[in-house]
Amino acid sequence: MGESVWTDRADELLLRTASAEPTPGSGVAAAVAGAFGIALVLKALTITDDDGCAAVRARGEALVERVVASADADARAFAEVIDADGDADAERALARAAAVPLELAAALVDALALARETEPIVKPTLESDVQGGADLVRGAATVALRAAELNVASLEERGAESAPALRERLDALTTVLG
């Protein structure tokens, strides 16, 4: 992997994801899929290109930035878990490895709301891009929550102080996602 998953060629990223390497894993895959989902929504807004689309598009672009950043953050967080030395270090690393996909899921929940807002304002011929984008975003959010669940459960087993707050956030996002 390069400095960023976003600098890898798509075929290289795909092969590495399918390999025995610890990263990229589900958090990176969720971020990549989610970013592509948001991109489809942005495409529909760009092609429609009317005054009502500009503000929505700006919000979507900010969401893409959050999601893109989470891919590399997830890879770094998982590397910290692997490299953790001692219980305290492991708990900090696990808490970060739970927080990163939770932040990703929160951004993707916001992206779903954006897609719902977008669908009625784009050209009818572009509704399928918005709907398909929303489908990718929803799936990516589900994957991010699954990644977080594993780490939250590990923290709970350890009795970590961070576990209750992370569990509360996880449960809230799971409820919002439906």
Q: Which domain holds residue 31?
A: 5-177
| Half-sphere exposure (Cβ direction) of 145: Cα atoms closer than 13 Å | 23
Q: Which residue is associated with the tokens 């930035």?
A: 65
Q: Cβ of 27: how many Cβ atoms within 10 Å?
A: 28
pTM: 0.93
Instruction: Please answer whether residues 130 and 117 qualify as being in contact, where contact means their C-beta atoms are separated by less than 8 angstroms.
Output: no
Q: What total of structural domains would you count in the chain?
A: 1
CATH number for the domain harbouring residue 134: 1.20.120.680
d(CA 126, CA 133): 11
Per-residue pLDDT for the chain (178 aa), expressed as one digit of tens each? 457 889 889 999 999 999 998 888 899 999 999 999 999 999 999 999 888 888 999 999 999 999 999 999 999 998 898 888 888 888 999 999 999 999 999 999 999 999 999 999 999 999 999 999 999 999 999 999 999 999 999 999 999 999 999 999 999 999 999 8
Backbone angles phi, psi at 49, to 5 degrees: 45, 60
d(CA 56, CA 8): 29
Instruction: Please answer whether residues 46 and 57 qualify as being in contact, where contact means their C-beta atoms are separated by less than 8 angstroms.
Output: yes
